[in-house]
């Protein structure tokens, strides 16, 4: 594996404030390491780059930082194909760099959450290489899903499952057997029925907990357990079923036994360490199963992320979410963007919506205006929220990347997803000018648009009305207002068509999703607004696509 220290450095001393149940109202910032900051000028972000920019995240006002994978990996899927879960890939640094990052974050009052990828490994993982070498019937093959094929000579896949990236979910090896990979062929799925797999991952959890991390984001948390016998889908349109129905390889009830065992491990450690699940489920009610008291702490609300910019639809998903989470005592976990979806500044400007093949940025002004309003709405809701790097700058997706620079494996598969994820992963701009706009001294692994400089942190810092200052203000107000953050209910107020209005104690949030100005009561003193508004005679005129925060105190 990668050349670096063979053992972890001494455990980090956690110095972050010990606020009980911090995760219930935390704002957590996702860092995509390869696109955040490059410390050595090779065009690729790294851990030392992240470490150098931690003061920026502290000043932004977030509570924790989630790092996408930095493990040793051939990078077939941007690090989500892990070859060694206890090593840092040389492109990102080494274990000493990880240790220093964790320590510095804690000294700044930030917690660190790391990605964990338990559904599959890299095909370069020692276990998988051994399984190939030892052949059919060997114990090593039982740690993955190896099967004989169908057909007269085993020339057909064992079942009709398709890869999420397009094409069959099975690849045939030289000895004739097939192995399962729900994603790229370089990402063989673990067999979680084998006890060695569970033993290994509990050990991996302890390795990083001993390093001082404060939690784990669980990749494909809904995918670990497959239905007994790996049954065919029977010709169903798999892409239409994804996220809309329970499938034989997703959201099986057996995953919850895994997480109950993991919770025992986490609870051995002081400091309220947490798990957050990436669990694409058909309903928020099924998502709630992952955050029962003896399982995980948070689960991303993808139903909310997938909702159009429409007051009626937003209110419905907010109500369903809060109702679903209340019986299990878990916080709602809101999110608008991440490394796998179109940024909401672009998504809200494109009528086709999430997951559609997007080839234009649409009306940038419209998308940004809606994105700003959507952010204030999200941060006003009860529970926790996640922010994806660059959204605080109002970054759009980069939709005109040349084919030759794209790296999303879905782009090359010819079917399934359309490979749009590279557009939201372009390195973020720090300065108006300079090599890669301050990302690093040696360019960037994906080309940045010429407009990046004016969207940079340097260009927006201290500028009244900028998106960056809006985020800073929103996170400051969220900390200051006792009625914001944790909770499980909102009091809806009467509002015009296309408008959401709710109260939380002395706090009031009003969001106008319509395409025209509306008049509402002026509920008190304005705390923050995503756009200009006018007030007179106890009334407020809200422009289209605007959110306003008031306090009645």
CA separation for the pair 288, 298 (Å, rounded): 9
Q: In 3D, which of 298, 168, 165 has the Cα closest to residue 221? A: 298
Cα distance between residue 282 and residue 303, in whole Å:
8
Measure the CA–CA gap between 269 and 214, rounded to whole angstroms.
10
Quickly state the pLDDT bin for 411 (edges 50, 70, 90): low
Distance CA 280, CA 517 (A): 36
User: Is residue 6 very low, low, confident or very high in pLDDT (cuts 50, 70, 90)?
Assistant: very low
Residue 7, pLDDT score = 43
Band (412; pLDDT cuts 50, 70, 90): low
Would residue 268 show up in a list of annotated catalytic residues for this protein? yes
Whether the pLDDT of residue 353 is over 70: the answer is: no
Q: What percent of the chain has pLDDT over 90?
A: 84
Residue 262, C-beta contacts closer than 8 angstroms, at least 6 positions apart: 201, 202, 205, 275
Any idea which residue has 């557009």 for tokens? Answer: 423
> Rounded to the nearest 10 degrees, what angle do helices 195-211 and 255-266 cross at?
30
Q: What is the mean pLDDT of residues 499-513?
A: 98
Per-residue model confidence (pLDDT) at position 364? 85
Residue 426 pLDDT greater than 80, yes or no: yes
Summarize pLDDT for 306-318 with one digit per residue, the tens. 999 999 999 999 9
d(CA 167, CA 145): 18
- For residue 402, what pLDDT is reported? 76
Residues of the chain above pLDDT 70, percent: 91
**Other CB atoms within 10 A of residue 193 CB:** 15
Exactly one of 21, 245, 267, 268 is catalytic; name it: 268
- In three-state form (DSSP H/G/I as H, E/B as E, the rest C), the secondary structure along 119-166 is CECCCCCHHHHHHHHHCCCCHHHHHECEECCECCCCCECCCCCECCCC
What is the pLDDT, as a whole number, of residue 405? Answer: 80
Given this model, what pLDDT does residue 542 score? 96
Q: Is 458 exposed, middle or buried (0-12, 13-18, 19+ CB in 10 A)?
A: middle
Q: Could you give the CA distance from residue 210 to residue 112 in angstroms, rounded to a whole number?
A: 13
pLDDT digits (tens, 9 = 90+) for 235-284: 777 766 677 777 999 999 999 999 999 999 999 999 999 999 999 998 99
194-198, 233-237, 386-390, 448-452: segment of lowest average pLDDT: 233-237
Token pair for residue 454?
A: 């004016």
Respond yes or no: is residue 155 known to be catalytic: no
Strand duo 384-388 + 491-492: pairing: unpaired
pLDDT attached to residue 242: 73
509-535: per-residue pLDDT in tens? 999 999 899 999 999 999 999 999 999
Average pLDDT of the chain is 92
Indicate the pLDDT class of residue 438, thresholds 50, 70 and 90. Answer: very high
C-alpha distances out from residue 415 to 157, 168, 250, 475, Å: 17, 10, 20, 41
Q: How far is residue 345's CA from residue 348's CA, in Å, rounded to a whole number?
A: 6
Q: Please state the rounded mean pLDDT for residues 405-422.
A: 63
Question: Model-level pTM?
Answer: 0.93
In terms of DSSP H, where are the helices of 53-139? Answer: 54-60, 95-107, 126-134
* Nearest-10 Cα torsion for 28, 326, 483, 308: 60
pLDDT of residue 148: 98
Between the two ends of the chain, the Cα-to-Cα distance in Å is: 59
- Give per-residue pLDDT as tens, 54-71: 999 999 999 999 999 999
By the 8 A CB rule, do 287 and 295 touch? no
Catalytic site residue from 97, 177, 186, 219: 219
Contact assessment for residue 17 and residue 104, using Cβ atoms and an 8 Å cutoff? no
């Amino acid at each position: 594996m990668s050349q670096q220290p063979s053992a972890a450095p001494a455990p980090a001393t956690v110095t972050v404030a010990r606020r009980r149940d911090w995760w219930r109202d935390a704002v957590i910032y996702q860092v995509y390491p390869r696109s955040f900051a490059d410390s050595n000028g090779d065009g690729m972000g790294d851990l030392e780059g992240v470490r150098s920019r931690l003061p920026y995240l502290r000043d932004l006002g977030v509570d924790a930082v989630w790092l996408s994978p930095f493990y040793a990996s051939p990078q077939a899927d941007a690090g989500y194909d892990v070859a060694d879960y206890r090593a840092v890939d040389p492109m990102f640094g080494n274990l000493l760099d990880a240790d220093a990052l964790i320590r510095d974050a804690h000294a700044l009052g930030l917690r660190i959450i790391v990605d964990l990828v338990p559904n599959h490994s890299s095909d370069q993982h020692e276990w998988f290489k051994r399984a190939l070498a030892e052949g059919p019937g060997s114990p090593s093959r039982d740690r993955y899903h190896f099967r004989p094929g169908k057909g007269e000579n085993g020339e057909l896949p064992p079942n009709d499952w398709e890869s999420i990236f397009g094409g069959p979910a099975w690849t045939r090896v030289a000895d004739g057997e097939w192995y399962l990979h729900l994603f790229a062929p370089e990402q063989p799925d673990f067999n979680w029925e084998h006890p060695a797999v569970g033993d290994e991952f509990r050990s991996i959890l302890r390795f990083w907990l001993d390093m001082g991390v404060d939690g784990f984001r669980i990749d494909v948390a809904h995918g670990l357990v497959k239905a007994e016998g790996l049954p065919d889908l029977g010709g169903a349109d798999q892409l239409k079923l994804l996220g809309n129905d329970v499938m034989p390889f997703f959201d099986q009830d057996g995953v919850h036994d895994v997480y109950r065992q993991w919770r025992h491990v986490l609870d051995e450690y002081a400091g309220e360490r947490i798990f957050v699940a990436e669990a694409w489920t058909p309903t928020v009610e099924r998502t709630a199963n992952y955050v029962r008291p003896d399982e995980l702490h948070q689960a991303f609300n993808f139903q909310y992320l997938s909702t159009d910019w429409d007051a009626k639809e937003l209110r419905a998903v907010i109500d369903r979410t809060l109702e679903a989470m209340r019986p299990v005592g878990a916080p709602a976990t809101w999110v608008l963007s991440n490394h796998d979806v179109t940024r909401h500044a672009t998504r809200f400007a494109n009528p086709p919506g999430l997951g559609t093949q997007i080839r234009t940025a649409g009306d940038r002004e419209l998308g940004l205006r809606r994105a700003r309003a959507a952010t204030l709405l999200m941060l006003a809701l009860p529970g926790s929220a996640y922010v994806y790097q660059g959204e605080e700058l109002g970054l759009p997706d980069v939709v005109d990347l040349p084919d030759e620079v794209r790296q999303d494996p879905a782009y090359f598969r010819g079917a399934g997803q359309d490979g749009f994820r590279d557009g939201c992963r372009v390195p973020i701009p720090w300065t108006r000018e300079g090599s890669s706009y301050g990302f690093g001294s040696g360019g960037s692994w994906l080309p940045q648009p010429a407009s990046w400089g004016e969207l940079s942190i340097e260009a927006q810092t201290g500028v009244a009305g900028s998106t960056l200052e809006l985020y800073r203000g929103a996170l400051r107000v969220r900390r200051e207002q006792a009625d914001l953050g944790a909770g499980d209910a909102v009091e809806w107020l009467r509002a015009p068509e296309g408008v959401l209005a709710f109260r939380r104690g002395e706090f009031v949030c009003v969001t106008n999703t319509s395409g025209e100005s509306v008049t509402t009561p002026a509920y008190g003193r304005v705390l923050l607004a995503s756009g200009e508004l006018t007030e007179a005679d106890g009334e407020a005129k809200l422009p289209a696509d605007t959110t306003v925060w008031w306090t009645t105190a």
